[in-house]
Structure 1
């Protein structure tokens, strides 16, 4: 007897494949953010600028990669729903990796003048477009491969890649940051960008044998004339807005990872290598804790865990930034680990399942990509740049950036309170629950329409 093999769930393989892609994404994020805080202000901009202005311009190039993400979501989201989660995951893997490598090859301002920041911005735009579909496709892949009682746990490995990527980047950057300044500025800063090629190769080897999840294959058996993005925007626009607002909590992480390093080293002259160990310590805790946070979200609910994490991350940013002004290293480490390693990781563990379960399978990548990338774009554009501006030309005002973090937290928490808890539903039930009656009528009507030759 012949026939098509029944699709099967492979949660472990999906979790690992999703984890390594996010590791690459956040390796780029952490390397670029660290370089923006430490060296890009003197490498890619006129050297006679005031220190605060140079850092502000450097952080602006960091934000450019986030601004274009919504456009990338509109392109890659529907591709993920039409042609497969794996297809997008392979596409974004090479897009992110090649751009990160090329940044390490760029000429500096001293070599080509104003062309240097222009080239940097162009690559950041391409990179931002590539990143926009990575997490949505990876989360959808792992969610749809996961057992119903372990969906938050399985999807949490995607965001635990943010900890491993940040940890890997900082572990690479710390030895080079300790080089004499002449060597760091001439060649040392380039090596961490070039090493991204190793992660790309490893991710390709893991992802090439990954199979599409059963939920996606089942949606492909239904021929409809309503495009995934049209369906998402027409029937799930409230979920997209809710997710965009919730995703603003990422701004707290950007303040921690990028702004606080510049704030400490440029504003208060704290030791650069020692300051870089703060996010390393936080990432070590996050790497272990994030899957545990996912288990907790499976037990008590995605919404509850996300709100606890968001509140804690926003509120602990205030004493963390203040502690930098004291120069008290034990206090800086303790508060930094609490802020990013514990509380932000709690929110990070819950949101993949929390957000993705707001959509039915047929539009999951489109809706998730659009909502998250709008939120991340706003958070990425606002967080580092605005906090740097609020810190003043001398980068010594901690209160303004701290209040910015609290504001971003409040937006995320208030939005999360309006969401429905979904942990008790199966994937099939979610497809039914998350569709309005009007949407079901439209999709059903589309299904029975005769197909044109």
Structure 2
């Protein structure tokens, strides 16, 4: 992605920053309240016949369904985002996520509708994953393709703040409900957990208002104009990206693997560990409050790393983040073996902070790897490939490893995934080099 020559007005840039941040915040809020409920509520509401331990495993397994759906969402939404534009595709993903989330809030428990309850829950979770799979790449492109020269890392940070804000908002909403109706009460299990899901309707309306106010990105408008002027037929984005840049797709997925693992082990596995008697033994309210603190740590490191990436380079910043992460996770989980509440709080905040160091620059780095004609598709598939490896598989493996070998094994797992992501980042070139080569050879670009 070459620096955008078109000067975008400051008022438009502010609107784009707000739209990209608000959209990802809402999408990830919806995504994360499911994760919180899966750890705290769904084993009892939708899997009561399996018992506590098996019910928790089954509930957390539904988290993985979304990650299976995410690459499909990336392919479908990427196709329309590359052919029809970023804005309209992002509006569609926001609506789909909002509707699926609200229906989950209205879903009767297994005691009322039997096996249909967990089946419908799984289908709705699939739709959530589909929507998020198409959201991230479009939101980062909305910010990055509008950014002024030399400030792409800064502007691409705004959609990257969605996980931090979304997780904090999800934790805060559950905390308020928990304090209002009582931790573990019948009221919480009956209707209290539904309130965060139904409240999503208000957030979706706000997000739609902000997102509908923005225009299409200059890079995409110029791409369409060039196609029309040259008479070059449009290529199928999926075919083009795998024909020209399959290596970037695979390595990009490797880059993201440890990020997803850090985040979802922290938000799903550690949430369950923190409230478990065999774990930290903390109250639900305490764990949710610590989640808000960890979100603040994530927001700070995300912004700082994104800004620093404009000065020192995205790839270099990401490599530093992973070099810090690999030894840190092993030490943190070794400390966590004692079941200390302090160790739990520090581990949760540290994992989120480490996540932000690499996640901040990724919002600009991954789109910069791909050409405009298939950038939405390429960045989306790479991002969600990492989601399957790190977000779907890692939390399930973490729970099994902890049960068999103790919590330290989870730290070792994260360390191994960190090595995979570090090697993938090293193997990728510094972003921007291929764009400059293609810009110097229009004939080459037309062959893609």
Instruction: Please report the TM-score for the alignment, with normalisation by the length of structure 2.
Output: 0.90
**Residue of structure 1 in register with 2:239 after alignment:** 230
CA offset at residue 153 of structure 1? 0.9
Q: Please point out which of 264, 269, 282 is paired with 1:259.
A: 269
Identify if the C-alpha distance between structure 1 residues 311 and 28 changes in structure 2 by more than 3 Å, giving closer, same or farther. Answer: farther
- Unpaired runs of at least 5, structure 1: 1-5, 447-453
Distance across 1 between alignment mates of 2:240 and 2:204: 33
Whether the 8 Å contact between 1:360 and 1:432 is mirrored in structure 2 is: no
- Residues 252-302 of structure 1, C-alpha deviations (whole Å, 9 max, x = no match): 110011101112222323322212222211111222332221111111110
Whether the 8 Å contact between 2:183 and 2:285 is mirrored in structure 1 is: no
Identify if the C-alpha distance between structure 1 residues 172 and 376 changes in structure 2 by more than 3 Å, giving closer, same or farther. Answer: same
**Residue of structure 2 in register with 1:190 after alignment:** 194
**Residue of structure 1 in register with 2:205 after alignment:** 201
SS at match of 1:222: helix
Whether the 8 Å contact between 1:259 and 1:388 is mirrored in structure 2 is: yes
Q: Give yes or no for the alignment of 1:355 onto 2:357.
A: no
Identify if the C-alpha distance between structure 1 residues 95 and 38 changes in structure 2 by more than 3 Å, giving closer, same or farther. Answer: same
**Residue of structure 1 in register with 2:3 after alignment:** none
**Residue of structure 2 in register with 1:45 after alignment:** 47
- Residues 74-125 of structure 1, C-alpha deviations (whole Å, 9 max, x = no match): 1111111111110111010111111111111111111111111100001011
Identify if the C-alpha distance between structure 1 residues 139 and 400 changes in structure 2 by more than 3 Å, giving closer, same or farther. Answer: same
Whether the 8 Å contact between 1:109 and 1:116 is mirrored in structure 2 is: yes
Distance across 2 between alignment mates of 1:411 and 1:441: 36
**Residue of structure 1 in register with 2:423 after alignment:** 414
Whether the 8 Å contact between 1:290 and 1:349 is mirrored in structure 2 is: yes
**Residue of structure 2 in register with 1:451 after alignment:** none
Instruction: Please report the TM-score for the alignment, with normalisation by the length of structure 1.
Output: 0.89
RMSD: 2.1
**Residue of structure 1 in register with 2:100 after alignment:** 99
CA offset at residue 443 of structure 1? 5.1
Aligned length: 430
- Unpaired runs of at least 5, structure 2: 1-5
Distance across 1 between alignment mates of 2:50 and 2:377: 45
- Residues 6-35 of structure 1, C-alpha deviations (whole Å, 9 max, x = no match): 884633222211111110122122211111
Whether the 8 Å contact between 1:255 and 1:405 is mirrored in structure 2 is: no
Q: Give yes or no for the alignment of 1:389 onto 2:393.
A: no
Distance across 2 between alignment mates of 1:139 and 1:430: 20
Distance across 2 between alignment mates of 1:62 and 1:218: 39
Runs of at least 4 residues of structure 1 off by over 6 A? Answer: none
Whether the 8 Å contact between 2:177 and 2:193 is mirrored in structure 1 is: yes
Whether the 8 Å contact between 1:252 and 1:408 is mirrored in structure 2 is: no
Whether the 8 Å contact between 2:8 and 2:148 is mirrored in structure 1 is: no
Whether the 8 Å contact between 1:52 and 1:392 is mirrored in structure 2 is: no
SS at match of 1:403: helix
